[in-house]
Structure 1
Amino acid sequence: MASMYGDIKSKKEIKRKEYNLIRNSNSSLIHEKIKFNVKSKLNILLNKYHVEGQFIGIYWPLKGEIDIRFIKEINNQKVVLPSSSKTKGISYHHWSNNQLEIDANSIPAPSRENPINPNDISILFVPALAIDQEGYRLGYGGGYFDRLRQRDLWFSIPSFVVISNNCISREPLPRDKWDVPFNGWISEKGLHEIEAAK
């Protein structure tokens, strides 16, 4: 069993290196197209899933990730950012105009704000190195989003990866038994919802 786990772990590492190189080769034009699609498809997702007064979960972009912080400025949307803790995993906090602090993974987060209940979040947008056709995401190896979304309340939030088309794998990505699929993605080709995501 341990060797099987080790095998998946090493396969994921190989895929991370591969997709990191692919993602870093993307032009700013691809980033702009993806941002345009996030902006244009946001209304579709809001009409389908959003309840007045709820929050939209976004992220603080790292190198190579698509910057979707502009969502905060659209109709004064109420947004939340993740804050990671090595012991407690991820929690989401309201990104108001208060100062952000660096979390356990050196990412700016509104950690001083109280954590937001998942019932108050209507949609989550998450970055990734890759995603496959079934919605399984390849992240950075911390397992934060999978641990969070193993909880029913978090899993019930429609969650989409923001990603370039060349990082959408045609083959199933290596996955562990605790990996949890996402509901789809937004790329430069548009919005793709996975009907079968359970």
Structure 2
Amino acid sequence: MKNFYDDIKSTKKSLRNEYNLIRNSNSSVVYEKVKLNVKSALKILLNKYHVEGKYIGIYWPLKGEVDIRFIKEINSLKVALPSSSKSKGISYHHWSNNQLEIDSNSIPAPTRKDAINPNDISILFVPAIAIDQEGYRLGYGGGYFDRLRQKDLWFSIPSFLVISNNCISKKPLPREKWDMPFNGWISEKGLHQIEATN
């Protein structure tokens, strides 16, 4: 007999398929508009949250995700990339010009660098397949970001999704007890901050 969590799991799976199709239908114009909005949102968020010398956490883009690696070229900013391990979860590492290596999920990552303490990161930008109005993310099913952000220090870092507007759900997405809300998103319509994240 199916239990409640099996139902959520299968609902999430079908929503992933649905939103992946939506996301893959986006034109390059949409992605360029999101990137422009990341640039302008970055100024607002840096002014609000950033402490000089701390890192901005970004991501290596996979298919369908908006490429925000240009943030690394902004001179005054130190950038961190995540490395995921199936046994240890996600850790963030300084992204210098050294060669990246493939992590356990086949994503390029600066695996040889020491992990960065969450106290040294001021903002996180994270990809997603979808997000709802309350900031709950639909990811790829590995639970990496939720497990990371269950730790208070990580949850306290202002964290925003970079996503196209057609992947922002009007209805609440299915969530499990470990799903953690984000502080908002950046889409082709701009920066949206969720004031109260419970």
Structure 1 residue 2 displacement after superposition: 6.3
Match of 2:145 in 1: 145
1:22-81 deviation per Cα after TM superposition (whole angstroms, max 9, x unaligned) = 000000000000000001110100000000000000000000000000001112410000
Question: In structure 2, how many angstroms separate the alpha carbons of the residues matched to 1:174 and 1:18?
Answer: 14
Residue 176 of structure 1 aligns to a residue whose secondary structure is coil
The separation in 1 between residues aligned to 2:118 and 2:72, in whole angstroms, is 18
Partner SS, residue 178 of structure 2: coil
Gaps of 5+ in 2: none
What TM-score do the two structures reach when normalised by structure 2? 0.99
For 1:171 and 1:64, the matched residues in 2 are separated by: 22
User: Quick one: which amino acid aligns to residue 30 of structure 1?
Assistant: V
Residue 18 of structure 1 aligns to a residue whose secondary structure is: helix
Structure 1 distance, partners of 2:2, 2:182, is: 26
Is the partner of 2:41 in helix, strand or coil?
A: helix
Classify the secondary structure of the residue corresponding to 1:115: coil
Amino acid at match of 2:68: I
Instruction: Find the aligned partners of 1:45 and 1:196 in 2 and give their Cα distance.
Output: 16
SS at match of 1:70: helix
Moved over 4 A (4+): none
* TM-score with structure 1 setting the length: 0.99
Instruction: Tell me the SS of whatever aligns to 1:93.
Output: strand
1:99 has 2:135 as partner: no
- Which ranges of structure 1 fall in alignment gaps of 5 or more residues? none
The equivalent of 1:194 in structure 2 is 194
- Number of residue pairs the alignment of both structures matches: 198
Tell me the residue number matched to 1:173.
173
> Counterparts of 1:54-133 in structure 2 under 5 Å?
54-133=54-133
- The two structures, once aligned, show a CA RMSD in angstroms of 1.0
Q: Give the counterpart letter for 2:23 in structure 1.
A: R
Structure 2: distance between partners of 1:78 and 1:103: 21
Q: Deviations over 1:83-139 (max 9, x none)?
A: 000100000000011110000000000000000000000000000000000000000
Q: What SS does the corresponding residue of 1:75 show, helix, strand or coil?
A: coil
